[in-house]
Amino acid sequence: MSKRFGRQLAVDGVDLAVPRGSVFGFLGPNGSGKTTTIRIMLGLAAASSGSVRVLGEEMPGQLRTVLPRVGALVEGPAFYPFLSGAANLLRFDAADPGAPARTRRERVRTALERVGLGHAAEKKVRAYSLGMKQRLGIANALLVPRELLVLDEPTNGLDPQGTREVRHLVRSLAADGATVFVSSHLLAEVEQICTHAAIMSAGRLVAQGPLTELRRAGNARIRLLTPDPGDAARVMAGLGLRPDGGTSAAAGELLFAQLPAGPDDDAPTPEALVQALVAAGVRVRGFALEQGSLEDRFVELTGEGFDVAQ
């Protein structure tokens, strides 16, 4: 699907494949088209071209049958500030024609407890912190059972304890059988909770798949422990490997170098590297091949930095 605003192509031929039952991380810098893509998925915006299927149904044609099966928190929650958290959820639930009135109060209580807001149920929302409002938004998405949860920056504004609680909540939702689609800029969180991910850059989808495969597709790095860093660097350079981080300032023994990713007949194997180092008289005290992280892969694909912690 694609989305154009005048002459600007905000989403360019994005083809997402989200496996059922997965925790799917949707990654990309600001302005990459993530939120626009989510809005099209949920029928909040129309695609300029292409088609969209959510839970196997065409969107927006099947909007009325799909949306009751989807819970969403997009672009931050909006609540009545003069009402309590519980009163807000009661009104939102009453506006849902598919929500049973008989169990409304019990479902609101359960949802608030599940996101850690049971103690603040009767507090007015204007007194909630940003993190509490985020959790109230997630509670609203959980008032009835959902097959798909779409969470846009669900840990925004949360302290470390709140972040851990949301992380546990996302895992429990997936364990209960829901598919959870998480848009985030926090790579550390995505790596801890997601099974699959997709990376956006400038409106285009540049990679997607299981998290393990995305990591494996990036460059690995070699960690070398040696008392001869200068000689080791020259040997590495002769084999086509560039320094990455230099030597350890503390011990002067640690050297990093990149190993080309993927099958390449010209790329030296770790065994060949150690053999070359020893043959050149370099004393090798430690050698480890470290798989690239999701952050490394993101930078390779987009050329941009990324927030990796709160």
Among 111, 110, 167, which Cα is nearest to 136's? Answer: 111
Topology, domain 219-291: Alpha-Beta Plaits (3.30.70)
pLDDT in tens, 220-231: 778 888 888 888
Q: Is the pLDDT of residue 265 over 90?
A: no
Distance CA 208, CA 29 (A): 15
What would be the CATH architecture of the domain defined by 3-215?
3-Layer(aba) Sandwich (3.40)
Sign of CA dihedral 208, 244, 303, 34: positive
Please give the backbone phi and psi of residue 151, each rounded to the nearest 5 degrees, phi first.
-120, 115
pLDDT in tens, 34-60: 889 999 999 989 999 999 999 999 998
Q: What are the residue boundaries of the structural domains of the chain, listed by start?
A: 3-215, 219-291
- pTM of the entire predicted model: 0.76
Which of 13-17, 67-71, 282-286, 299-303 shows the lowest mean pLDDT across its residues?
A: 299-303
